[in-house]
Amino acid sequence: MESNIFAIGLGTGRARSARSARVAPTVGAFRGSPLLRLAISWEGGERGVELCVQVTGDLDAATAPALADTLARAHFDLRQVPDAVGIVLDLRPVSFLGAAGMRVMDRARRTCAEEGFTLRLIADHPTVIRPLELTGLAEVLGLNRPPTW
């Protein structure tokens, strides 16, 4: 599958696309330490094609706008793919989840639902799962926990 990688730099608020296959690239230069990394790929399955966004790093007030922008572009791309069913948001590599990040995910879920798409979350770390459960968003957002071995 094709994929893009976006890295958000400290102080830039902009992303740099390592590859511009299906998701529109973001204009701007990468500077400073990466706070958030977004890897985007398409995955096909029995249900149809899903756009997978893997989030790595802190998801807080400083980085949530970058995720919001990426999810907006992903939502646009979903409408262009005939077999697309939704977005999978992989939060397993997230090291911190703040309220701003949860707001972005809830907004993205509502936007997807309005057009018949789904937003699925995957998380396995208490740093992410606990805030989602405390706010009730784990159930609302359809949190999936991968099996533990």
At 73 the pLDDT is 93
For 122-132, the pLDDT digits (tens) are: 999 999 999 99
At 148 the pLDDT is 59
CA distances from 141 to 61, 95, 104, 129 (A): 19, 19, 11, 12
Question: Which of 93, 91, 110, 111 has the alpha carbon at shortest distance from 101?
Answer: 91
Q: Work out whether strand 84-90 and strand 94-97 pair parallel, antiparallel, or are unpaired.
A: unpaired
Mean pLDDT of 102-128: 95
Mean pLDDT of 56-84: 92
**Is 36-144 a domain of CATH 3.30.750.24?**
yes
Mean pLDDT of 18-39: 46
